[in-house]
Amino acid sequence: MDSTLENVAYSPKNVFILSGQSNMAGRGGVEKHHWDGIVPNECHPDASRIFRLSAHLHYEVACEPLHHDIDAKKTCGVGPGMSFANAIKDQVEAIGLVPCAVGGTAIKEWAHGQHLYVNMVKRARAAMSHGGEIKALLWYQGESDALSQHCVYTYKANMEKLIHDIRADLHLPSLPIIQVAIASGDEKYIEKIREAQKAIDLPNVVCVDAMGLQLKGDNLHLTTESQVKLGQMLADAYLTHFAPQEPCVASS
């Protein structure tokens, strides 16, 4: 093992959970189960400041695709995580990304006690055990719930319960949540899911709207360029609403 793993840089203080389904896991550049390997400049690794928690709960230098060993049954490509981290790294100390997203998952699969939820909590706690402070949960999910009327009607309550549960289990009652209003899904119910997402009115919960970002030919997943843009939108939301502000210095 690389001896630099013992370096303090591998115990990032600012931790961000990346969770939800495939658009968070990243399908940018993926066609026919093959990733083209193209990494935009905004997503380049930074070995001194941006790290990811692996499936084995060890930190390593973060690079695309961030979810390759988490959403392991699918082919992962570019997601929003790296462009998010690169966009905030000059305002914060070392960043720890905790990928947890799994493609094709409905909100009920993230309920308290379900495998996906348990794994997310376990990974978050592991990041905290490395000395990190969880600064926000970035959440992009809902396309799978745009498939039935029942899922639509229960989405808001289920998402609110997820927020309460994760805050309670991590003992972080004010944990910032930045959720994405979906940009794709079944046309019959997509607007109802978006309405539910934007209607969540809890403290320290903000919504970033992905509608209008370009989709791939499957009309479901964001393109690489759109993922870069989304990451920057998430970064703007974090820096605007949650990042500690530098104190103003009066001029003499």
Q: Which residues carry out catalysis?
A: 22, 218, 221
Residue whose structure tokens are 């969540």:
200
Residue 78 in tokens: 């570019």
H or E, element range at 87: helix 81-88
The answer to whether 208 and 180 are in contact (CB under 8 A) is: yes
Phi, psi of 243 (to 5 degrees): -70, 140
Parallel/antiparallel/unpaired status of strands 50-53 and 14-20: unpaired
Rounded CA separation 100/232 (Å): 20
Q: Locate the DSSP E strands across 69-155.
A: 95-99, 133-140
The answer to whether 52 and 66 are in contact (CB under 8 A) is: yes
- Output the CA torsion 106→112→113→114 (10° steps): 10
Rounded CA separation 154/158 (Å): 6
